[in-house]
A = this chain, B = another copy of it.
Amino acid sequence: MFSKACEYGIRAATYIALRSLEGKRTSLKDIAKETDSPVAFTAKILQQLSKNKIVESVKGASGGFEIQKRNVHTIKLSQIVYAIDGDKVYHGCGLGLRECNGAKPCPVHDKFIGIRDGLKNMLETTTLLEMTRGLEVGLTYLKR
């Protein structure tokens, strides 16, 4: 569904959001540990998220990553997916034609559109705040 990079990105952003709500900045090392992700690869992904203003990074001792509390409930999963995987979720054809196009649809177009819209809707309505809800009370997990 998503690339590994994107999966790591969502997990990382979610963990940063969780920590930010506690008023804490989080180091790359901790993020990688708590999301069970490869450290150096996660670093690259966080660079992307930082450039896209999804997370803020602070260099130097006691530096790390954070998200302004007031932004945690405004950031949508769609922004993260877009920053990492681009718009293929939005324009991709289910059968791999160059782009989805209702004027010359592939045989799965009508059915695929429904599924894609469901996904799109989910990504556009789910906020990082919502992602942290279950984590706080141990109902959901970012690693196993």
Contact call B7/A144, Cβ cutoff below 8 A: no
We find that the number of chain A residues with CB closer than 8 angstroms to chain B is 42
User: For the complex, is A119 an interface residue (Cβ under 8 Å from B)?
Assistant: yes
A119 proximity list for chain B (CB < 8 A): 115
A11 proximity list for chain B (CB < 8 A): 95-96
* Known interface pairs A131-B108, A141-B104; A2-B122 also in contact (CB < 8 Å): no
| Distance between Cα atoms of A135 and B106 in the complex (Å) | 9
Contact call B140/A105, Cβ cutoff below 8 A: yes
Q: 1/0 per position for A40-79, CB-CB distance to B under 8 A?
A: 0000000000000000000000000000000000000100
A91 to chain B, nearest CB (A): 12
A20 proximity list for chain B (CB < 8 A): none
- Which residues from 1 to 21 on chain A have a C-beta closer than 8 Å to any C-beta of chain B? 1-2, 4, 7-8, 10-11, 14
A77 proximity list for chain B (CB < 8 A): 108
| Distance between Cα atoms of A119 and B108 in the complex (Å) | 11
Contact call A14/B118, Cβ cutoff below 8 A: no
* Known interface pairs A131-B108, A140-B109; A1-B92 also in contact (CB < 8 Å): yes
Which residue of chain B is the closest to A77 with respect to CB atoms?
Answer: B108
A118 to chain B, nearest CB (A): 5
Task: Enumerate 10 A-B pairs (CB-CB under 8 Å) in ascending A order.
Answer: A1-B1, A2-B96, A11-B95, A11-B96, A77-B108, A95-B142, A97-B143, A106-B140, A107-B133, A118-B118
